Amino acid sequence: MNTRMEYYTLWYLNQWLKNERKIHQMINSKSKEERLKGVRKGASFFGVARTIPKEPEKKKVRYQPFLEIIDKYGFQDIKEKNLVGFLEGVHKELANFYGTNMVSATSKILWLKFRSPVIILDSQAKKALSVKETNYSNFVSEWNKIYKKKKNEIVEASSRLSCVSEYIIDSDSDIEKITKQEWFYQRVFDIYLWHIGSN
């Protein structure tokens, strides 16, 4: 089945408005309690809670160390050119504390905090891109290569979303502004890859 890109843009817009927008706001809240809830909710939403041990050796609330580590970094610390090194550095801190590999969880929670330029590492996306090893650098390289080929199609499909507001879960939102953002295009591509990888 050859699914049109419009399907993925509408799918993701509703997912952003229903779920990811709220979690993004929570993780960037001034309230530490709210940020902690955001990390917990984000881990559950993205299905990576199981990769974060319930009882790390150091006795703290399960997600508190995760929050404390990502709280050290702001938007000024992450750029497209240093994405791989930045994420691998944050992951190393998390892995050292929790004692387990959590590259996917790291990328997903960091995306919920920063959005673009973070690229989400997901098993279905790896499958769609034929990336076998869990190597973030290789994954990002392949992801970017295919994204560049698909971007114009995504941009064109996204530009038509304001015409179908009756199919959008929150028609009062500024759809035109949201659907012109680079992070939106990138997440539409994620949804596209997820569907390919799951079939």
60 pLDDT tier (thresholds 50, 70, 90): low
DSSP helix, strand, coil percent of the chain (3-state; round to 5): 70, 0, 30
Q: Is 121 exposed, middle or buried (0-12, 13-18, 19+ CB in 10 A)?
A: buried
Tens-digit pLDDT profile for residues 97-148: 998 999 999 999 999 999 999 999 999 999 999 998 778 999 999 999 999 9
Contacts of 50 (CB under 8 A, 6+ apart): none
Tokens of 157: 């499909």
Output the pLDDT for position 1.
Answer: 46
Tokens of 99: 């004692």
Q: In terms of residues, how long is the chain?
A: 199
Output the pLDDT for position 172.
Answer: 63
Q: In the chain, pLDDT over 70 holds for what percent of residues?
A: 95
